[in-house]
Structure 1
């Protein structure tokens, strides 16, 4: 009589000790490699790590993440508190972190709202990137309280904080916005800003630091009234696209625009193509923030951003996740520069 067609039933659950024995390494080394700490020196050489992972796959070893977190204080996961899923910048960063994290057996979780403090206070994570600190009430103090209450390797994306028991990435676009305005203004009587209606944040769009930098640039050159040059539209890529079509077909059609984010620049580009506005001859625009190439449909968009930002930021997050024992906080500053595309004319 033939055996069970589903194949043999394992004699018992495969344990970490079985993996260590098959890989001919110590139990501690196997634990380091398979617990998400594979980047640590304690995990051994690259060949050792590969041998442990191969043994785990061969034996069908499945780690108990809950027990692992209870034992080590590590969850095998990275949290990215991005606040939204609309911005291609966040999508590109998530893709980069996911690919880099999987090499270290770490999973990636995205928070699409700004309740990062409440979530992380009750959850276990090996590292967490917090992006909206400067725009939520009492944000810096919430980060300090999280650092004191949890064991998560925190990376604070903030222009207002200094490192303590966590890393700080300082990357402010204020200077870039001034430069963008100065770049467009000589060719146009008015330069506008396309901004999202930030109803969820106190003060809305006009209270945001990016809008504030634009208003300062307008006033410094004696233009204005400054607030009248900010064109606020509903949040979201599709909503921005529809609003941009209406704007480009209306009596107040812009000739030069600074886009608050990359996704707004993409939406504006699509709208211009839809209504037949020539770019850059009849409409010049610059994105504040990187525009991933796979979101550009009609040539590269001119933008101010950080060179190789996704790989650099991912590296900081992964380092915090795999080697955070007694690691002091670091301050990393990202400088912004101009990347010309097809949406601006050549400077004379």
Structure 2
């Protein structure tokens, strides 16, 4: 920076201001000066030392997104929304694909972190990170804000709405859900079972298929459910990921969606909304853009920000796979 300043005939503070990309600050620079500084920096091959900048400013320019399954459209929607929002704030998302966020955050300085799944069992580790000054946003149906922001998007009422929608037209409804009781799909499975019981409908064992978390596992579960003559006429899938797979399997089997098979997912992802036939899905409205905005705000550490709970109620977004 001193070399750039000497060549440009300006102060080091001016060089710092121009190359930081800040829209305003205590040091101003004319457009002509800023252009000259950037040209000389490019000529000299200047590259900012991010580690040194982090030590000096206390900012890393990184936001961690801990996502449990990158192949899931929900996780992809989070990643895309945050990446788009971060680009205008000189922030870089760091994606952790179903790893141990505690271990990573112990050694990797970040300006903020989003955890897409956390429970009361995780609270001691979360408290340790918060006490160290880490800005955290946690997606949880159980935790309350305590030095960190909580995203609350109650899934049970939304799943009940999805089942009520299907039960209005169908008495044979299958369910695609995950195998892990620690995952959201487990609770969504109970919403399915309770809805059938309340409607007085006996569940057939083959109408509930559990899948492992990879794409092959979801595909095989959907195939087990649909590749038979006594298949259900509708499917409640515990995620848009599973619902999209069910539609693809149905089409491959020569079934018409929704005439032969109605499908409803969970998550209200962009991929589900844009596919053909478009996916009816239960989930919050404008969730991903709002989450991205919150993450960018928290990463900026505004003095007036107070961690709180952010509620996102669900509704059923009716589309082609199961219209009204």
TM-score of the aligned structures, taking structure 2 as reference length: 0.85
Seen in structure 2, the aligned counterparts of structure 1 residues 102 and 220 have a Cα distance that, compared at 3 Å, is same
Greater displacement, 70-79 / 326-335: 326-335
Counterpart check, 1:78 vs 2:63: yes
Which of 183, 188, 200 is residue 165 of structure 2 equivalent to? 183
- More moved, 160-169 vs 264-273: 160-169
Residue 334 of structure 1 is matched in structure 2 by 312
1:129 has 2:107 as partner = no
Q: Check conservation: 2:69, 2:97, Cα contact below 8 A.
A: yes
Q: Which residue of structure 2 lines up, in the alignment, with residue 164 of structure 1?
A: 146
2:178 matched to 1:196?
Answer: yes
Secondary structure, aligned partner of 1:312: helix
In 2, Cα distance between the equivalents of 1:217 and 1:192?
12
Tell me how far apart the structure 2 counterparts of residues 83 and 286 of structure 1 sit (CA, whole Å): 22
Alignment deviations for residues 292-316 of structure 1 (CA, whole Å, 9 cap, x no partner)? 2488542211111222222111000
Q: Please say if 1:256 is aligned against 2:234.
A: yes
Q: Structure 1 residue 94: deviation in Å?
A: 0.8
Report the alpha carbon displacement of residue 252 of structure 1 after superposing the two structures with TM. Answer: 4.4
Which stretches in structure 1 are left out of the alignment for 5+ residues? 1-14
> What are structure 2's unaligned runs of at least 5 residues?
none
Q: Residue in 2 aligned with 1:287?
A: 265
Q: C-alpha displacement at 1:324, in angstroms?
A: 4.1
Report the number of matched residues: 321
1:143 counterpart (126, 149, 155): 126
- Of 112, 123, 126, the residue aligned with 2:97 is 112
CA distance in 2, matches of 1:105, 1:155: 19
CA distance in 1, matches of 2:52, 2:288: 32
- Alignment match of 1:155 (pick from 134, 137, 154): 137
CA RMSD of aligned residues (A): 3.4
- Aligned position for 1:271: 249
Give the corresponding residue for 2:187.
209
Which residue among 8, 17, 20 is the counterpart of 1:34? 20
Aligned counterparts of 2:184 and 2:283: Cα–Cα separation in 1: 20
Shift in alpha-carbon separation, 1:69–1:325, aligned structure 2, 3 A = farther
User: Matched residues in 2 for 1:162 and 1:20: separation?
Assistant: 53
What are the equivalent positions in structure 2 for 1:32-111 lying under 5 Å apart?
34=20, 38=22, 55-56=37-38, 59-60=41-42, 61-111=46-96
Instruction: Label 1:139 to 1:17 Cα distance change in 2 as closer, same or farther (>3 A).
Output: farther
Moved more, 121-130 or 64-73: 64-73
Whether contact under 8 Å (1:20, 1:27) holds in the other structure is no
Q: What is the distance in 2 between the residues matched to 1:186 and 1:236?
A: 32
Distance 2:224 2:114 in 1: 37
Q: Equivalents in 1 of 2:255, 2:160: separation in Å?
A: 26
Give yes or no for contact 2:225–2:231 (8 Å, CA) kept in 1: yes
Q: Give the SS at the match of 1:217.
A: helix
